[in-house]
Amino acid sequence: MSILPRFDQVPLPPTSATEYNTVCQFCNVGCGYKVYVWPVGEQGGLKADENAFKVDFTKPQAVLKGQSYTEAMHSTTVGKDGREYNIVIVPATNSPINQGNYSYRGGSNALTMWSLDRGTQDRLTYPLLRVGDQFQAITWDDALALMAGIIKGIRDRDKNDDNIAVKCYDHGGSGAGFEDNYGAGKLFFTALSVKHIAIHNRPAYNSEVWGSRERGVHELNYDYSDARLADTVVLWGANSYETATILYTQHILENIQGSTVAEKKKVFDKDEPAEAGYLIVIDPRKTSSYTVAEAAAKNRVLLLQPNFGTDYILANAIARVVWERGYYDKAYLEARTDMKLFEDYKKKSLKLDVKYDEFMAQAERITGVPKAQIEQAADWIAKPKGNKFKRRTLTIYEKGIIWNMKNYDQVAALVQLAVLTHNIGRPGTGCGRQGGHQEGYVRPPSPTPGSIYNGGPPVNVDKFLTSGKGKFYWVIANDPYLSTPNNQIFRKRIHERTKKLTRAIGESGEPSTTQGRIDAILKALYADPDALFMVVQDIYMTETARDAHLVLPAAGWGEANETSINCNSRLLRLYEKFMDPPGEAKPDWEIFKLVGEEIAKLYRAEKKNDVAAKFEFGKNWKTDEDVFLAGSEEFADNQVSEEDEAKLEAENYKGVTYAFLKQVGQEGIRTPVRLDPKTKKLVGTLRRYTVKFGTADGKFKWYGTDDWEGYPAEVAKYLEGNKAKEYPFWVTTGRVQHLWQSTYHDRQLPERVITHPLPYAEINPEDAKKLNIESGDLIEIFNEEGNAIYMAYVTDAVKPGSIFMVMYHWRGTSNSLTTGYTDPKTTIPWYKGTRANVRKVAGAIPFIKQTASFLQQNKFS
């Protein structure tokens, strides 16, 4: 018996199966996968020459070395030819990134494919139009005519595109990539001039790391091999065991366990000491990235738990220790960095005017991290080895830094510590993002040049919409009803505004023709300025889609060719199409092209041929590769010397074709790609900024960070007077191993829904005891922004007085409680810090108590 369908045999792909190369659809790591497709009814044999794996299954395979092929790696689908196919998706043993290893999420790639045999049958398959309170099927022709008619109607009335608001991804992977991003960019920035556009996970169109980029350091500057070569790896606000699982287990863990010493010896200087690496985890929580390392290599790991929002103060304090102890190379600083600006850094960040003891006492008070730990971290990061050799430290940061308060200063402080210690541009070093998704950005110039120091900050599109502005809202492959901050207000206002339009056009029966509908919608939008038309383009019905007027079905991963880079190595690979999209679903780039062409028709009818031409940007796009090649024209000339890689865009792939990528397969090529001036061949960039930084003069641009000014008003209100008693808990939010870049699929998979039936919140045993809460109990977490009913999860991962809420679960979002604060320098929200209270609602739901596990997730030994 089993509570789920379990299998005790799986069909092997026959030698006749078609084999494809791809990369996992989920996280930043970008593990390589192989796909096999063949008709249902056939299967290969157990002998090596009888199956497409060429593996002998008559005997068990070698542990860790064999080809993993589990129950979760097989599914079936139906092709456009009406035939049923087996799909097998297994980790690629020839990928340098994962080397046959795979995560919980990637191991289930097959289960997420559209199938009539699996929960994923629920994909969107044709356009849906809201008629009153129902979604009804319509044709693409009608859907496109409706989109074009309304967009052009708004432009005609307004003479600009300011009432058109968009929320669209900018990442690669997950069924997106260079092709789809370029399609979006051409429609929104070349044909239209959309100012009110926000990126999938935040309220504006901005970089999350301007604090690094404006110093001359793109955030993707290291290689996965640096995680194997580093003397010390720092994970700062990045729980990589759970959110970059294979980078952590296959590379970082092997390093601290001593398995990579031989590799170090090959690369390090003559006589340079090489030993097992050290790991520093900096996080307010005792994360599994720390406890796994503690179980695997107890004396080589350090945990620093700073107070909320104080990371940049901690980074500056570590830098001050580095300065005091002389762990820096003056010649390097003079040659490679802007020494005039360095004075500003010394004054404002290192505060050399303040005596060391006084400075450190202050840092200890603000951050809550003991001085001894700050000094130990400085030693592990920068103390020379054998007094002669510079230490090699790789710093990987992610949302704990990015979605912290004061985004700009946090990021700047980290990258400056890395440059001060010459920990960028050498083997075993680097300072960059772990990444969330993979990347794949190529677009015409965007409407926002940079932070407040470079023409910014960008517009907060959430606030634009909730304040009643805008008439047309197009949400593409993201779910703001879960993902945007101050979510309760956002949901309420978008619901109200879309409902106003629905009511207005349905007052006396809805027009039955597309033109009639366009006219009625435009009339209603201008009669009531608060009315809003919403389009959702996605692969499933999302939470946001429940208020949409039009829903467009998009193709997902594996249903079109696409290209992306991963985050740890900027490794560009081709993700081959291996199955058809379900029903009438189309790739995003094609939808953008078709909308453009439909608008162009309306301009041609009015003889406005010059305007029409701008909307026909996709007229030569017949295949996905056409879009990929067109996108490459946006990049700078890449025929430059090795040292001038610093001047190239991080994702520059000029000259690369699909044929080239097919040839290199899982080896890929690392961007920025150069056309070598001597050999005239395409070469990748292993690691960046070895010779120059990415600034006009090639020098690193220092920045003096702000003083500690306490918390922003939106959160400070909870720390004073009665409210401090009413909302006694700090709340932080984040992702977990099993719900990471995958929840849109997870809810379709029974094994996921059983293990994570509800969103959960971690609470310390001390607090749980006081509130009579046990794991599994229903609790309400609430503050003045909003409320969320969560499941309690008692664990020492959080300190007493803190709650950790899982983000983006389909049964409730932590963002109902987050404030509307954004960093005034960048418009990046602080998703990871607010205050709240907790009350017990009831004991566990009996069914959940019986079926879901409540064992402690950070306890490995």
List the interface residues with another protein, window 249-278 (CB under 8 A): 249, 253
Report the alpha-carbon distance of residue 189 to residue 605 in Å, rounded.
23
- The yes or no reply on residue 5 touching another protein (CB under 8 A) is yes
Q: What are phi and psi of 396, to 5 degrees?
A: -115, 120
Supply the minimum distance, in Å, between the C-beta of residue 742 and another protein: 11
Q: How many CA atoms lie within 13 A of 510 on its CB side?
A: 20
Q: Which stretch binds another protein (CB under 8 A): 1-9, 216-224, 380-388, 680-688?
A: 1-9
Beta 301-304 vs 278-282: how paired, if at all? parallel
Provide CB contacts within 8 A for 809, sequence distance 6+.
482, 739, 743, 756, 758, 759
List the interface residues with another protein, window 121-160 (CB under 8 A): 121
Report the alpha-carbon distance of residue 282 to residue 174 in Å, rounded.
29
Q: Which stretch binds another protein (CB under 8 A): 554-562, 674-682, 696-704, 846-854?
A: 846-854
Report the alpha-carbon distance of residue 167 to residue 196 in Å, rounded.
9
Q: Which stretch binds another protein (CB under 8 A): 5-13, 216-224, 266-274, 460-468?
A: 5-13
Supply the minimum distance, in Å, between the C-beta of residue 603 and another protein: 48
Supply the minimum distance, in Å, between the C-beta of residue 269 and another protein: 33
Report the alpha-carbon distance of residue 511 to residue 701 in Å, rounded.
60
Using CB under 8 A as the criterion, what x/- string covers residues 801-840 for binding another protein? ----------------------------------------
Name the token pair of 93.
Answer: 């043993």
Supply the minimum distance, in Å, between the C-beta of residue 383 and another protein: 30
| Residue reference for tokens 């040049």 | 449
List the interface residues with another protein, window 379-408 (CB under 8 A): none
Beta carbon nearer to another protein, 521 or 773: 773
Beta carbon nearer to another protein, 70 or 513: 70
**Contacting another protein (CB under 8 A), which of 274, 402, 524, 852?**
852
Supply the minimum distance, in Å, between the C-beta of residue 393 and another protein: 24
Q: In what order do the strands lie in the sheet with 134-137?
A: 134-137, 128-131, 550-553, 533-538, 472-476, 164-168, 196-199
| CB count in 10 Å sphere of residue 15 | 14
Supply the minimum distance, in Å, between the C-beta of residue 69 and another protein: 7
| Residue reference for tokens 């307004």 | 158
Supply the minimum distance, in Å, between the C-beta of residue 297 and another protein: 12
Report the alpha-carbon distance of residue 62 to residue 64 in Å, rounded.
6
Beta carbon nearer to another protein, 404 or 566: 566
Q: Which stretch binds another protein (CB under 8 A): 18-26, 291-299, 347-355, 706-714?
A: 291-299
Q: Which stretch binds another protein (CB under 8 A): 400-408, 628-636, 668-676, 848-856?
A: 848-856
Provide CB contacts within 8 A for 822, sequence distance 6+.
203, 204, 460, 485, 828, 829, 830
**Contacting another protein (CB under 8 A), which of 307, 488, 690, 755?**
755
Supply the minimum distance, in Å, between the C-beta of residue 246 and another protein: 8
Report the alpha-carbon distance of residue 747 to residue 759 in Å, rounded.
12
Report the alpha-carbon distance of residue 316 to residue 411 in Å, rounded.
11
**Contacting another protein (CB under 8 A), which of 93, 212, 563, 857?**
857
Say what the alpha-carbon torsion angle 513, 516, 518, 522 is, to the nearest 10 degrees. Answer: -160
Cβ pair 829, 203 in contact under 8 A? yes
Beta carbon nearer to another protein, 431 or 761: 761
Beta carbon nearer to another protein, 356 or 860: 860
How does 789-815 read in b/e, with b if 16+ C-beta sit within 10 Å? bbbbbbbbbbbeebbbbbbbbbebbbb
Beta carbon nearer to another protein, 405 or 806: 806
Q: Is 470 left (phi over 0), alpha (psi -120 to 50) or beta?
A: left
Name the helix (H) or strand (E) containing 770.
helix 765-770
List the interface residues with another protein, window 234-253 (CB under 8 A): 241, 245, 249, 253
**Contacting another protein (CB under 8 A), which of 261, 611, 754, 841?**
754
Supply the minimum distance, in Å, between the C-beta of residue 541 and another protein: 17
Beta carbon nearer to another protein, 103 or 421: 103
- The yes or no reply on residue 750 touching another protein (CB under 8 A) is yes
List the interface residues with another protein, window 64-123 (CB under 8 A): 64, 66, 68-72, 76, 84, 100-108, 116-119, 121
**Contacting another protein (CB under 8 A), which of 18, 623, 787, 850?**
850
List the interface residues with another protein, window 29-68 (CB under 8 A): 40, 46, 51, 57, 60-64, 66, 68
Report the alpha-carbon distance of residue 715 to residue 520 in Å, rounded.
44
Beta carbon nearer to another protein, 250 or 395: 250
- Count interface residues toward another protein (CB under 8 A): 74
List the interface residues with another protein, window 487-506 (CB under 8 A): none
Beta carbon nearer to another protein, 69 or 727: 69
| Residue reference for tokens 């097998």 | 88
Beta carbon nearer to another protein, 341 or 754: 754
Report the alpha-carbon distance of residue 309 to residue 311 in Å, rounded.
6
**Distance, CA of 338 to chain centre:** 32
- The yes or no reply on residue 742 touching another protein (CB under 8 A) is no
Supply the minimum distance, in Å, between the C-beta of residue 84 and another protein: 6
**Contacting another protein (CB under 8 A), which of 531, 565, 599, 794?**
794
Beta carbon nearer to another protein, 165 or 797: 797
Cβ pair 84, 40 in contact under 8 A? yes
Q: Which stretch binds another protein (CB under 8 A): 199-207, 292-300, 391-399, 709-717?
A: 292-300
- The yes or no reply on residue 287 touching another protein (CB under 8 A) is no
Supply the minimum distance, in Å, between the C-beta of residue 852 and another protein: 7
Beta carbon nearer to another protein, 261 or 848: 848
| Residue reference for tokens 């010649």 | 331
- The yes or no reply on residue 775 touching another protein (CB under 8 A) is yes
Q: What are phi and psi of 207, to 5 degrees?
A: -80, 145
Classify 849 as helix, strand or coil: helix
Supply the minimum distance, in Å, between the C-beta of residue 778 and another protein: 15
**Contacting another protein (CB under 8 A), which of 528, 774, 780, 784?**
774
Beta strands in 635-711 (DSSP E): 669-670, 674-675, 682-683
Report the alpha-carbon distance of residue 740 to residue 481 in Å, rounded.
17
- The yes or no reply on residue 759 touching another protein (CB under 8 A) is no
